[in-house]
């Protein structure tokens, strides 16, 4: 094998560094693909091209993309309703907040993130990730438009985004197939090929207790073709500090341990599952620049996976880590990619 010239090695190293920087910002899904053409910002999303007009940042693009998905006709109808749909409440709060804060000389606005802005950008980014890396079904958009289905559909987009950022291929289930119950989607780890059936449950905001027995039962009774991962958004107003153990975590974990002893599905022992407990509060703190987004990795009937798991020795701990690697990759993505890229490149 001939010696590689130094300039080629340097070029390869620079490309490697750029890719590492991109992954740090954008995760393991497909990269943001964008260009300017005749003064307009164009993005490749999935198999199509989206014209974002004169948007200067990726953050500017996201609300425009969401508006395109929802449709002007639906938006105009919803503007005349009281109370307005949550998405329109977020958008109104964002516009009002931006009007109160001046833009810089370059036309780019740098201000603390309001809960409403975070919620709007996050939903838009979730839908972008699904469309760019999988398939964005019209049925999901219709569920988001329906106030009675919005809570669950909104959280489902977040869960799919977590998996995509962690390096999973997401295949959404056919919502029109009523022949049997099924989880939200199948997540296949791109590197290992390991597959999981993923279910998402979101509680309404403001409950005093973080007990999740009912959500756990509803998730576990769904049919699953692969190992199960269940996401549950606790949605309590309790303050979170650096993902440390708090009241909501203790209550949720206690309800899981109790369910392990008594929960049955159709008269049989309930199946095991990985569980991610989240507490994303931006949608409940629309006018606050400080809002918490906590997450905990737990499990149901998987003894060596959980926030309070203990190990006999280092070897057992390492074996456990290897056995659950793909699931921990999702948890790392949740912790790492809590910010949305603002630029079109790394």
Q: How many other C-beta atoms are found inside a 10 Å radius of the C-beta of residue 314?
A: 8
Do the Cβ atoms of 237 and 206 come closer than 8 Å? yes
Q: Which residues contact 84 (CB under 8 A, 6 or more apart)?
A: 78, 92
Higher-confidence residue of 230 and 117: namely 230
Hunting for tokens 């056919």 — which residue is that? 174
Place 9 in a pLDDT band, splitting at 50, 70 and 90: confident
Range of the domain at 293: 33-336
Report yes or no on 163 lying in a domain: yes
Place 281 in a pLDDT band, splitting at 50, 70 and 90: low
Report yes or no on 244 lying in a domain: yes
Report yes or no on 233 lying in a domain: yes
pLDDT at 113 over 70: no
Report yes or no on 264 lying in a domain: yes
Instruction: Give the Cα separation of 5 and 333 in Å (integer).
Output: 37
Place 166 in a pLDDT band, splitting at 50, 70 and 90: very high
Place 182 in a pLDDT band, splitting at 50, 70 and 90: confident
Average pLDDT of the segment spanning 253-271: 94
Instruction: Give the Cα separation of 342 and 321 in Å (integer).
Output: 33
Report yes or no on 14 lying in a domain: no
Report yes or no on 16 lying in a domain: no
pLDDT in tens, 28-54: 999 999 999 999 999 999 999 999 999
pLDDT for 179: 62
Place 171 in a pLDDT band, splitting at 50, 70 and 90: very high
Place 114 in a pLDDT band, splitting at 50, 70 and 90: low
Place 268 in a pLDDT band, splitting at 50, 70 and 90: very high
Query: Out of 98-102, 189-193, 298-302, which region has the weakest mean confidence (pLDDT)?
Result: 98-102
pLDDT for 243: 47
pLDDT for 109: 47
Instruction: Give the Cα separation of 68 and 48 in Å (integer).
Output: 13
Place 291 in a pLDDT band, splitting at 50, 70 and 90: very low
Do the Cβ atoms of 256 and 275 come closer than 8 Å? yes
CA 131 centroid distance within chain = 13
DSSP conformation letters of 329-341: HHHHHHHH--SPP
Report yes or no on 210 lying in a domain: yes
Which own/partner contact pairs does 84-92 have at CB distance under 8 Å and 24+ positions apart? 85/145, 85/147, 85/150, 86/119, 86/147, 86/150, 86/154, 86/283, 87/120, 87/123, 87/144, 87/150, 89/116, 89/286, 90/116, 90/117, 90/119, 90/120, 90/123, 90/283, 90/286, 91/63, 91/116, 91/120
| Tokens describing residue 321 | 């880590």
Instruction: Give the Cα separation of 257 and 238 in Å (integer).
Output: 22
Report yes or no on 18 lying in a domain: no
Q: Which residues contact 244 (CB under 8 A, 6 or more apart)?
A: none
| Tokens describing residue 325 | 């690697």
Instruction: Give the Cα separation of 314 and 81 in Å (integer).
Output: 59
pLDDT at 290 over 50: no
Range picked from 12-16, 208-212, 227-231, 249-253 for highest mean pLDDT: 227-231
pLDDT in tens, 12-33: 888 888 888 888 889 999 999 9
pLDDT in tens, 186-205: 999 999 999 999 999 999 87
pLDDT for 52: 94
- Domain count across the chain: 1
């Amino acid at each position: 094998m001939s010696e590689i010239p130094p300039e080629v090695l340097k070029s390869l190293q620079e490309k490697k560094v750029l890719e590492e920087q991109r992954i740090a910002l954008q995760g393991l899904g497909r990269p943001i693909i964008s260009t300017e053409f005749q003064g307009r910002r164009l993005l490749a999303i999935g198999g199509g091209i989206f014209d974002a007009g004169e948007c200067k940042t990726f953050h500017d693009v996201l609300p425009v993309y969401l508006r395109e998905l929802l449709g002007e006709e639906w938006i105009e109808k919803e503007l005349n309703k009281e109370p307005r749909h949550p998405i329109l409440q977020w958008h109104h709060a964002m516009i009002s907040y931006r009007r109160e804060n001046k833009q810089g000389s370059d036309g780019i606005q740098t201000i603390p993130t309001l809960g409403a802005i975070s919620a709007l950008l996050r939903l838009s980014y979730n839908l972008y990730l699904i469309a760019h890396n999988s398939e964005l079904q019209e049925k999901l958009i219709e569920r988001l438009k329906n106030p009675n289905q919005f809570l669950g559909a909104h959280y489902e987009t977040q869960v799919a985004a977590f998996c995509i950022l962690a390096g999973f291929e997401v295949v959404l289930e056919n919502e029109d197939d009523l022949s049997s119950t099924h989880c939200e989607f199948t997540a296949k780890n791109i590197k290992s090929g390991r597959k999981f059936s993923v279910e998402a449950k979101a509680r309404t905001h403001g409950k005093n207790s973080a007990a999740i027995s009912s959500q756990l039962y509803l998730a576990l009774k769904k049919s699953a073709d692969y190992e199960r991962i269940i996401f549950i958004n606790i949605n309590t107003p309790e303050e979170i500090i650096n993902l440390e153990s708090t009241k909501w975590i203790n209550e949720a974990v206690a309800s899981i341990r109790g369910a392990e002893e008594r929960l049955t599905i159709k008269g049989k022992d309930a199946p095991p599952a990985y569980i991610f407990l989240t507490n994303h509060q931006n949608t409940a703190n629309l006018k606050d620049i400080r809002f918490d987004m906590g997450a905990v990795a737990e499990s149901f009937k998987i003894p060596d996976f959980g926030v309070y798991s203990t190990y006999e020795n280092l070897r057992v701990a390492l074996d456990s880590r290897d056995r659950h690697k793909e699931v921990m990759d999702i948890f790392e993505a949740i912790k790492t990619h809590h910010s949305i890229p603002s630029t079109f490149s790394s």
